Amino acid sequence: MPLFSLILRELRHHRFNAALSLLGLVAAVALLVVIRLLTTAAERETRRVVRDLGFNLRIIPRETDPELFFATGYSDKTLPADAVQRLASGAQTFVSFNHLTASLERRIPIGDREAILTGLGPAVVGGGDKKQPMGFNIAPGKAHVGYLLARRLGAKPGAPLPVQGRLLTVEKVLVESGTDDDIRLFTSLPDAQAILNLPGRISEIKAIDCLCLTADQDPLTQLRAALTQLLPEAQVLQMRTMADARAKQRQTAERYSRFAVPLVLGIGAAWVGILAALNVRERRAELGLWRALGHGSGRIAALFLGRAALLGIAGAALGYLLGNAVGLHYGPKLYPVTAGGFASEPALLGWALLVTPAFAALAAFLPAMIAVAQDPAETLRAD
Amino acid sequence: MVTCSHLTRNYAARPGSVAGIVDVSLEIPAGEFAVLQGPSGCGKSTLLLTIGGMLRPESGTVSVGGTDLYSLSASQRAEFRASRLGFVFQLFHLVPYLTVRENILAGMSTTQARSLASSVDSLIHDLGLSDRRNAHPGTLSAGERQRVALARALARKPALILADEPTGNLDPANAQLVFQHLDRFRRQGGAVLVVTHGNDAAPFATRTFRLESGRLVQNPSLLPA
Each residue of A224-242: pLDDT tens digit? Answer: 777 777 788 888 887 766 6
A383 with B107: Cβ contact below 8 A: no
Q: Using CB atoms, which residue from B46, B74, B96 is nearest to A297?
A: B74
Q: How many CB atoms lie within 10 A of CB A193?
A: 20
pLDDT exceeds cutoff 80 at B33: yes
Domain span at residue B197?
A: 2-222
pLDDT given for residue A219 in this prediction: 64
Strands A97-110 and B191-196, sheet pairing: unpaired
Residue B85, strand partner residues: B160
Mean pLDDT of A194-214: 82
Confirm whether A244 is domain-assigned: no
Confirm whether A120 is domain-assigned: yes
Chain A nearest-CA residue for B112:
A1
Q: Which of A203, A238, A273 is the last residue of a domain?
A: A238
Report the range of poorest mean pLDDT among B8-17, B46-55, B205-214.
B8-17
pLDDT given for residue A217 in this prediction: 64
Question: How many domains does chain B divide into?
Answer: 1
Query: Closest Cα partner for B145 from B192, B207, B103?
Result: B103
Share of chain A above pLDDT 90, in %: 42
Cα separation of B12 and B19, whole Å?
Answer: 6
Residue A12, chain B, CB below 8 Å: the answer is yes
Distances in Å between the alpha carbon of B107 and those of A188, A294, B148?
80, 7, 14
Residues B42/B213, Cβ–Cβ less than 8 Å: yes
Shared-domain flag, residues A31 and A145 = no
Shared-domain flag, residues A190 and A324 = no
Confirm whether A51 is domain-assigned: no
Residue A252 has φ and ψ, to the nearest 5°, of -65, -45
Strands B207-212 and B33-37, sheet pairing: parallel
Mean pLDDT of B178-197: 92
Q: What's the residue count for chain B?
A: 225
Question: How many domains does chain A divide into?
Answer: 2
Greatest mean pLDDT range, A84-88, A182-186, B40-44:
A182-186
A13 with B107: Cβ contact below 8 A: no
pLDDT given for residue A242 in this prediction: 63
Share of chain B above pLDDT 70, in %: 93
| CA atoms within a 13 Å half-sphere pointing along the CA-CB vector of A8 | 6
Contacts of B49 in chain A (CB under 8 A): 376-377, 380-381
Q: Using CB atoms, which residue from B40, B74, B113 is nearest to A383?
A: B40
pLDDT exceeds cutoff 90 at A43: no
Confirm whether A247 is domain-assigned: no
Confirm whether A353 is domain-assigned: yes
B105 with A9: Cβ contact below 8 A: no
Cα separation of A264 and A352, whole Å?
Answer: 14
Query: Closest Cα partner for B53 from B75, B36, B35?
Result: B75
Banded model confidence at residue A114, pLDDT cuts 50, 70, 90 = very high
Confirm whether A246 is domain-assigned: no
Residue A295, chain B, CB below 8 Å: the answer is yes
d(CA B11, nearest CA chain A) in Å? 10
Read off the pLDDT of residues B99-117 as tens digits, 9 standing for 90 and up: 999 999 987 888 888 888 8
pLDDT exceeds cutoff 50 at A332: yes
Banded model confidence at residue A94, pLDDT cuts 50, 70, 90 = very low
pLDDT given for residue B110 in this prediction: 82
Confirm whether A157 is domain-assigned: yes
pLDDT given for residue A51 in this prediction: 59
Query: Closest Cα partner for B136 from A44, A154, A13?
Result: A13
Report the range of poorest mean pLDDT among A126-140, A243-257, B25-39, B109-123.
A126-140
Confirm whether A104 is domain-assigned: yes
Mean pLDDT of B87-104: 91
Higher-pLDDT residue of A87 and A91 is: A87
Read off the pLDDT of residues A53-85 as tens digits, 9 standing for 90 and up: 556 778 899 999 988 998 888 999 999 998 888
Shared-domain flag, residues A92 and A153 = yes
Residue A378, judged by CB atoms within 10 A of its CB (0-12, 13-18, 19+), counts as middle
pLDDT given for residue A243 in this prediction: 63
Higher-pLDDT residue of B225 and A278 is: A278
d(CA A369, nearest CA chain B) in Å? 16
| CA atoms within a 13 Å half-sphere pointing along the CA-CB vector of A228 | 6
Residue B93, chain A, CB below 8 Å: the answer is yes
Mean pLDDT of A360-381: 81
pLDDT given for residue B224 in this prediction: 47
Share of chain A above pLDDT 70, in %: 86
Report the range of poorest mean pLDDT among A44-58, A256-270, B17-31, B197-211.
A44-58
Domain span at residue A227?
A: 57-238
The sheet with strand B160-164 has its strands ordered as B85-89, B160-164, B191-196, B33-37, B207-212, B215-222
**Residue B106's CATH number:** 3.40.50.300
Q: Which of B7, B79, B93, B152 is the best residue to mutate to test the A interface, defined by the most A CB atoms within 10 Å of its own CB?
A: B93
Q: Using CB atoms, which residue from A13, A294, A380 is nearest to B78?
A: A294
ipTM of the complex in this document: 0.79
pLDDT given for residue B132 in this prediction: 93
Cα separation of A21 and A26, whole Å?
Answer: 9
d(CA A297, nearest CA chain B) in Å? 8
Shared-domain flag, residues A39 and A98 = no
Residue B162 has φ and ψ, to the nearest 5°, of -110, 120
Query: Closest Cα partner for B24 from B8, B3, B46, B1?
Result: B8
Banded model confidence at residue B134, pLDDT cuts 50, 70, 90 = very high
Shared-domain flag, residues A103 and A217 = yes
Banded model confidence at residue A92, pLDDT cuts 50, 70, 90 = low
Higher-pLDDT residue of B141 and A250 is: B141
Cα separation of A359 and A273, whole Å?
Answer: 10
Cα separation of A247 and A46, whole Å?
Answer: 10
pLDDT exceeds cutoff 50 at B21: yes
Shared-domain flag, residues A365 and A343 = yes
Q: Which of A177, A207, A238 is the last residue of a domain?
A: A238
Distances in Å between the alpha carbon of A109 and those of A112, A141, A172, A236, A274?
7, 19, 20, 29, 78
Higher-pLDDT residue of A295 and B28 is: B28
Shared-domain flag, residues A85 and A219 = yes
pLDDT exceeds cutoff 70 at B14: no
Chain A nearest-CA residue for B197:
A383
Shared-domain flag, residues A133 and A156 = yes
Shared-domain flag, residues A300 and A364 = yes
Q: Using CB atoms, which residue from A290, A293, A383 is nearest to B45?
A: A383
Higher-pLDDT residue of A45 and A219 is: A45
Banded model confidence at residue B34, pLDDT cuts 50, 70, 90 = very high
Cα separation of A307 and A25, whole Å?
Answer: 13
Shared-domain flag, residues A34 and A97 = no
Q: Which residues of A83-96 are buried (b: 16+ CB within 10 A; e: fewer)?
A: bbeebbebbeebbb
Q: How many CB atoms lie within 10 A of CB A215?
A: 14
Residue A137, chain B, CB below 8 Å: the answer is no
Mean pLDDT of A5-16: 92
Strands A160-163 and B215-222, sheet pairing: unpaired
pLDDT given for residue A313 in this prediction: 96
pLDDT given for residue A101 in this prediction: 87
